[in-house]
Amino acid sequence: MRHERRVITDPGAGPSPLIDQFGRQVTYLRLSVTDRCDLRCTYCMAEHMTFLPRRDVLSLEELYDLAQVFMRGGVRKIRLTGGEPLVRKNIIQLFELLSAHLRNGDLDEVTLTTNGTLLARHAEALFAAGVRRVNVSLDSRDPARYAQITRWGRLDAVLNGIDAALAAGLKVKLNAVALRGAFEREVDDLIRFAHGRGMDLTLIEEMPLGEAGHDRGESFLSLRDLRRSLAERWTMVAVEDRTGGPARYVRLAETGGRLGFITPLSCDFCASCNRVRISCTGDLFTCMGQEGSVGLRDALRGEDPAVVVGRMIRDALGCKPKGHSFEISGQAINGIARHMSVLGG
């Protein structure tokens, strides 16, 4: 069932910033549009997933309504995530709705994180809708290992998607989850590939989210350790560049390209958190590393949604934790049951 389209407006006082209990301002919304994906990456979800009934998922119009409430609170950047956002039917329509807010100055950026398999089909439409930058998940350039990690993905589809995105004028950043073993032998190749085509590469520590079918105590690779190893082969120059998220960057003297590190476990980044996440069912997560959430869907479909939902968001931010509680240390793993695919990381 889809609900009648309503324009979300608040006739009351002008917008005021969304501030949590630690004084951190929320300016970045990660909006999940689906829990579904056409891959089954080992660090993200189980091989045999049970996905949500479509009736439980917010319509594109409802997702847009939620985005408007957050914009009124000072959110300047919206990233669409999944699952895999491009498997959502008619997803370009949501980008087109948000593009008006890029033109009028409400938003600085609308972007997405994608596995790249459908990017060739949508790259030109994304650019036309105001998207200028995309993150593409690519953990290996070896076709066999890529298929193993994703359980059935085809590397050539992702490479074609990257080519199409660059041709359409999109800036591409590659994301790679760092895992112990083969990845350590391939990371230099990923660096050369990314920087050789003018793309940033960001390395991400594996997070203990959901049962993914392997021993994270065995697979976890600290980026603090990996960075020390990379420094033996590459000259890293610290830069202050930021892209609105948790990545910290260096520039490699040998390539001129940027290399980012997202280190939720080995080097806590929560002190500067500026983001919240909405699931495709309308649940607000103020921290991806905690179980708690606030359901906004019923209020969104009720009376005075801008006022009621806005109040619920502010109340939730009053309880936003100082940081996550993830831990992977030897065989000690402290994680949560929710799969990464629920919120797109």
Instruction: Assess if residue 14 is contained within a domain.
Output: no
Q: Is 137 annotated as a binding residue?
A: yes
Residue 244 pLDDT exceeds 80 = no
Domain assignment of residue 50, yes or no: yes
Would the annotation count 276 as a binding residue? yes
| In the predicted structure, residue 185 carries a pLDDT above the cut 60 | yes
C-alpha–C-alpha distance, residues 43 and 37, integer Å? 14
Judge whether 273 is annotated as a binding position. Answer: yes
Give the pLDDT confidence score for residue 107 in this predicted structure: 98
Q: What is the mean pLDDT of residues 95-115?
A: 98
Using one digit for the tens of pLDDT, what is the confidence trace for 199-241?
999 999 887 655 555 565 667 888 999 999 999 999 999 998 7
pTM for the model stands at 0.87
Q: Are strands 77-81 and 109-114 parallel, antiparallel or unpaired?
A: parallel
In a domain? residue 306 = yes
Q: From CA 75, how far away is CA 42, in angstroms rounded?
A: 32
Give mean pLDDT, residues 175-193.
94
Q: According to the annotation, is 277 in a ligand binding site? A: yes
Give the amino acid at 244. G
What is d(CA 174, CA 185) in angstroms, rounded to the nearest whole number?
17
Smallest CA-to-CA distance from 113 within 144, 92, 134 is with 134
DSSP letter string, 272-285: G--EEEE-TTSEEE
pLDDT score at 305: 92
Q: According to the annotation, is 30 in a ligand binding site?
A: yes
Is residue 22, in this structure, part of any structural domain at all?
Answer: no
Count how many domains the chain has: 1
Residue 232 inside a domain? The answer is yes
Number of Cβ within 10 Å of residue 296's Cβ equals 25
Is residue 179 within 8 Å of residue 219, measured between CB atoms?
yes
Q: Is 70 exceeded by the pLDDT of residue 243? A: no
Give pLDDT, residue 12.
Answer: 39
Q: Is the peptide bond before 217 cis (omega within 30 degrees of 0)?
A: no
Tell me the C-alpha distance between 181 and 219, whole Å.
Answer: 8
Does 37 belong to an annotated binding site?
Answer: yes
Question: Which candidate, 338, 87, 344, 25, places its Cα nearest to that of 204?
Answer: 344
275 is in an annotated binding site: yes
Report residue 228 as tokens. 């020390």
Q: Give the integer Cα–Cα distance in Å for 167 and 163.
A: 6
171 belongs to an annotated ligand binding site: no
The answer to the question of residue 70 being in a domain is yes
Q: What percent of the chain has pLDDT over 90?
A: 64
The single residue listed with the structure tokens 């619920």 is: 312
Q: State yes or no: pLDDT of 154 exceeds 80.
A: yes
What tens digit of pLDDT does each residue of 256-285 get? 999 999 886 655 567 778 899 999 999 999
Tell whether 54 is in a known binding site.
no
113 is in an annotated binding site: yes
Average pLDDT over residues 169-174: 98
pLDDT at residue 120, as a whole number: 98
What pLDDT was estimated at residue 42? 77
- In a domain? residue 229: yes
Q: Is 324 helix (H, G, I), strand (E, B) or coil?
A: coil
The string of pLDDT tens digits covering residues 5-48 is: 454 554 334 468 999 999 999 999 999 999 998 888 777 776 77
Q: With beta carbons less than 8 A apart as the criterion, state whether 178 and 206 touch.
A: yes
Say how many Å lie between the first and final Cα of the chain, rounded.
Answer: 28
Domain hosting 51: range is 28-342
Q: 280: annotated binding-site residue?
A: no
Q: Is residue 16 part of a domain?
A: no
Is residue 319 marked as binding? no
Return the pLDDT at 1: 37
Find the CATH number of the domain harbouring 235. 3.20.20.70
Output the CA–CA distances (angstroms, integers) from residue 9 to 72, 101, 304, 305, 309, in the order listed. Answer: 9, 14, 9, 9, 11
Residues of the chain above pLDDT 70, percent = 83
